[in-house]
Amino acid sequence: MYLTLTINPSIDHYMRLPEGQALKNGTPEAPSVNRALNEYFEAGGKGINVAKILKRLSPSSEVEATGFTAGFTGREVIDDIRLQGISASFIEVKGHTRVNLKLTDGFGIETEVNGPGPSITDQDIRRLISKIDESSCDTLFISGSLASGLKSDTYHYIANEVLKSKPGLRLVLDFEGEALLKCLELRPFLIKPNARELSLLTGMDISTGSDISKIKEAAKMLKDKGAMNVLVSLGDQGAAILTDDGGFFHVPGISGDVISTIGAGDTMTASYVYMLDRIEDAGTSLKFSNECAALSAFTSGLPGAPDLNRIISRYN
């Protein structure tokens, strides 16, 4: 069973300006008004995105989501998740679940304004660990930023405590910086940095256009620190994976009209693990996840089950 953890979920408010219209910025003397062409709301957060993609790829699979919710916006998160067939096992805390604005202008330029979310206490973290211990999951996805005020070792503490009661648990980690580096000693099954994050984690000068041998070298640095498999998303340059047995695979980017890259990385993480569990072939799983991530980038919001199924059909 798959369990996803989103410490700081959100209600994501997507807005798009008319084609050809740039975002107008106001001044203290003259505020500007931008009128959106369309808008929609959905439960967000990287772990929640992963849960949605897993469920759309495999409706028969048991997928559970956990984390913290608060207030009326938190109840909306839970309602949205349950409507999609995902089990919601969230811890309720004081305050309000954050609202994030995801604005795309008429030229495809994305601007995000993310709320801070509620404060999380040490007692709340202990309640969360107990909740995960009660789950029958064999794979735990931990994704996204920590809530405001939490220490950088919070993810390490959670994962380490959970592994005591679930020593065979597979950890799939997708978050940034020192929080991730501290978790590598726990030998996570998979981590998924993008090119920018890989650069910050290793100190190497890496971009999406870097030579693939350089990507491999940086991934090996993280593998040497404990990560079993390092999946690197490279945007329009594709993706690469360095596996536990030393295998290295790269697939090129897929051309298309990018609508929004929000959620593409989460789609890659979920689809890679899904396909790997089906066929146990890293190279093919990488190719599949790259296609799913591209589909996400070419879609407004996360891709739906019918479009994902069309990709799956090519791998049967």
> Is there a contact between 246 and 227 (Cβ–Cβ < 8 Å)?
no
Edge to edge, the sheet with strand 38-44 lists 38-44, 10-16, 98-104, 110-114
Residue 194: how many other CB atoms lie within 10 Å: 21
- Torsion over CA: 49, 54, 57, 61 (sign): negative
- Write down the residue that tokens 């975002």 correspond to: 23
Distance CA 103, CA 42 (A): 14
Distance CA 49, CA 293 (A): 12
**Distance between alpha carbon 273 and the CA centroid of its chain, in Å?**
13
What is the C-alpha radius of gyration for the chain, rounded to an integer number of angstroms?
A: 19
> Is there a contact between 307 and 295 (Cβ–Cβ < 8 Å)?
yes
> Is there a contact between 204 and 211 (Cβ–Cβ < 8 Å)?
no
The residue count of the chain comes to: 316
> Is there a contact between 150 and 7 (Cβ–Cβ < 8 Å)?
yes
Catalytically active residues are 266
Distance CA 233, CA 198 (A): 10
